[in-house]
Structure 1
Amino acid sequence: MTPIFIGSEVYRGSSYGDWHPLHIPRVSTVMDLTRALGWMPPAQYRTSPRAKPKALALFHTPDYIAALQQAEATQQVDDATRIRHGLGSTANPVFPEMFCRPATGAGGVMLAAELVRAGGIVHVPGGGTHHAMADYANGFCYLNDPVLCLLSLRKLGLRRIAYVDIDAHHCDGVEAALSGASDMLMISVHEDRRWPFTGALDDDARGRALNLPVPRGLNDTEMRTILHRLILPALERFDPDAVVLQCGSDAIEEDPLSRLALSNNAHAEVATALAQLAPRLIVLGGGGYNPWSVARCWTRVWGALNGWDAPGPLPDTARDVLEGLHWNRRAAGRNPPLAWRSTLNDPPREGPVRAEITDRIGYLQKRVALARAS
């Protein structure tokens, strides 16, 4: 089945505020770049619907949904709402689209679940907000669309569902929601000692999670080792009906909110491998705070899912999209390297595989083997 891309114009011009890490354009740039490359045939594009409160209640509490809607309508929150629901905080500020934007991401992933019911691949770069809890906003995330996606797949009758997360930050909201769920498997690869400081190696979410915290400087060779020695074998044993991949680009070397060192080759490689394994695959976005690396990564992933690549200099139409980006809060953004504006593929960032990583993989392998034996 031909992959489907789900996007929306709500992301164009919508911002958390000029001071926030998510003030940068992301999904809209991916849409523009894919079209400039000729990678968005109309038949492969769907406009994301906005999820209604009743649909969001599949995971979120009615009180929280109502508070989020009220905050958008009035553009303010009182102290009680701020304390209870985490709205109006530094991380989760009040802004004009604070309900409709995340509700659109949620609607996109729930549509994706319907589209893959009979099989296939869907890319939803506006999804991936994996920190939100059922009753409060958390970590730039107002709604937890990965959880809504997983629960929608279950509601559609799929019985073995896997969630793989390669964002630099641990998916605490997803783990909290899935803890103990016998029909779910969660695998998270995230930077050790990085906010939200959850996802320890021995944290198994009551038997449903494989958490791999990795040290600073994670390189492409190490990610490939993790993919082939942990992620793929665990998925093959679990034999999922569907896989949801959260493909946060903040693990890329140029991102300001992590200290990992991947290239976007790693993200494309993971997405391609899961597409070959899973009968149903939904690929989400997630973190990513350098506008050039986000746009190039998620465009690269969409190309990989279709078997397309652009390894050389970009055509002028695509280059114009990247030339039009601005990131004035960072020195590199004020004078971006030529490669950020002229190519899609990062140079490979290979390196040694550190013992710290192989030891942790070995620990998780043993745990999987013991669980299978029991």
Structure 2
Amino acid sequence: MTTRARFIGSEIYRGSSYGAWHPLRVPRVSTVMDLARALGWLPDAAYIRSPRARPAALHAFHTPDYVSALLAAEETQQVAGETRARHQLGTPANPVFPEMYRRPATGVGGALLAGELLRDGGRLHLPGGGTHHGLPDRANGFCYLNDPVFAILSLRHHGARRVAYVDIDAHHCDGVEAAFARDSDTLLVSTHEENRWPRTGALEDVGSGQVFNLPLPSGAGDDAMALARDRVILPAVAAFRPDAIVLQCGSDALEEDPQSRLAMSGHAHLSVLRALMPLAPRFLLLGGGGYNPWGVGRLWTAAWGVLAGHALPDRLPEPAQAVLRALEWGNQKRVKRPPAEWLTTLVDPPRPGLLPDLLRDRVATLESRLVAWV
């Protein structure tokens, strides 16, 4: 088994945008690639260009009608009313844009390749992955295709019998849960902000017994994630004894992200990553949400550094700082000028956050379920 980490990326993400007013107008994957190269962390030997999934391959989860509609929308750059109503294409959340098929199909292609590359073990980072809301017959929550579902299917196809999927995005992984909630060979563990879209992922949801959802209250920070990590995530994964782990590492739980009211630092995400890596021979790290360009670029680069075994610098070298200084966040009023630490570091100081009794009670409820499940 090899433990050499590899990175699956693509230039399709550079300059591709959902539109000037959409939260996904910001650069993300290209920033990670540029930062990692500026740090000397992404040599050619570690980088793999993602293939694009073919339409027929997408039928393993998405309906042929939906795939055809997505292809047609990209080709014509327009969507008829009936198609919009049925498939949720051409809506404010899921707009028409030039790469609306090619971009998500590249994420799925990377996910399918990841399962093959991890056949004999190893670690992979696919920052363009993590689109966990996509549903079989429609786009959903900025997600046109559901690459985490294809990653799990590919891992299975290439020898992993039991797959643990852990999702620490601020939004619940409704599309992945819809695919695998009744599959006893897939463990699903999600932390997400309560009362946040898509408002699924209730504590009471159990699927076939292997679904563990922990809604976090607004204001939850690093201490909340540490509690979830030590008393829910790690015990569930260890008891499941997976052949492969998929970690969706959305950065929208960071305090500076505009799409949630969670208050974490990158330390929360990296602590989960570090704790999970030894628990399975195959490890796939995905991106996900993240709508502050400095926050998402820094966190996913730091996560790649951890996955690949690099020490995170206290202060970034000048070439890496130049990558961050060049970022723009158009059409928003929240940040006029990025704070100095966003330009000079990968991880902000820890943010302990809140640990209300309600959260402790939820964790205790899941612990009781874990005991019964094991």
Q: Taking structure 1 as the reference length, what is the TM-score of the superposition?
A: 0.97
- Contact 2:107 2:129 (8 Å CA) reproduced: yes
| Aligned mates of 1:208, 1:277 — CA distance in 2 | 17
DSSP-derived class of the 1:211 partner: strand
- Contact 1:327 1:334 (8 Å CA) reproduced: no
Q: After superposition, what is the alpha-carbon deviation per residue over 1:264-315, rounded to whole angstroms, capped at 9, x for unaligned?
A: 1111111111112121110000000000000000000001112213332211
For 1:93, give the aligned amino acid: P
| Aligned mates of 1:332, 1:77 — CA distance in 2 | 32
Moved more, 106-115 or 199-208: 199-208
- Contact 1:300 1:309 (8 Å CA) reproduced: no
Question: 1:57-76 counterparts in 2 under 5 A?
Answer: 57-76=59-78
DSSP-derived class of the 1:255 partner: coil
DSSP-derived class of the 1:249 partner: coil
Moved more, 220-229 or 142-151: 220-229
- Contact 1:48 1:107 (8 Å CA) reproduced: yes
For 1:344, give the aligned amino acid: L
> Paired residues, what number?
372
Question: 1:259-270 counterparts in 2 under 5 A?
Answer: 259-270=261-272
- Contact 2:219 2:354 (8 Å CA) reproduced: no
Question: 1:17-96 counterparts in 2 under 5 A?
Answer: 17-96=19-98
Question: 1:106-125 counterparts in 2 under 5 A?
Answer: 106-125=108-127
Where in structure 2 are there 5+ consecutive unaligned residues? Answer: none
DSSP-derived class of the 1:358 partner: helix
| Aligned mates of 1:217, 1:309 — CA distance in 2 | 29
| Aligned mates of 1:78, 1:329 — CA distance in 2 | 28
The sequence identity of aligned pairs, in percent, is 59
DSSP-derived class of the 1:282 partner: strand
- Contact 2:39 2:317 (8 Å CA) reproduced: yes
| Aligned mates of 1:302, 1:228 — CA distance in 2 | 22
Out of 214, 219, 241, the position equivalent to 2:243 is 241
For 1:185, give the aligned amino acid: L
Report the counterpart of residue 164 of structure 2 in structure 1: 162
- Contact 2:70 2:100 (8 Å CA) reproduced: yes
Report the counterpart of residue 327 of structure 1 in structure 2: 329
Q: After superposition, what is the alpha-carbon deviation per residue over 1:164-204, rounded to whole angstroms, capped at 9, x for unaligned?
A: 00000000001111121111110000000000000010011
| Aligned mates of 1:329, 1:274 — CA distance in 2 | 38
- Contact 1:178 1:208 (8 Å CA) reproduced: no
- Contact 1:326 1:334 (8 Å CA) reproduced: no
Q: Taking structure 2 as the reference length, what is the TM-score of the superposition?
A: 0.97
Report the counterpart of residue 130 of structure 1 in structure 2: 132
DSSP-derived class of the 2:56 partner: helix
Out of 199, 212, 215, the position equivalent to 2:214 is 212
Report the counterpart of residue 280 of structure 2 in structure 1: 278
| Aligned mates of 2:308, 2:357 — CA distance in 1 | 35
Report the counterpart of residue 98 of structure 1 in structure 2: 100
- Contact 1:27 1:126 (8 Å CA) reproduced: yes
Tell me by how many angstroms 1:351 deviates.
Answer: 4.3
For 1:152, give the aligned amino acid: S
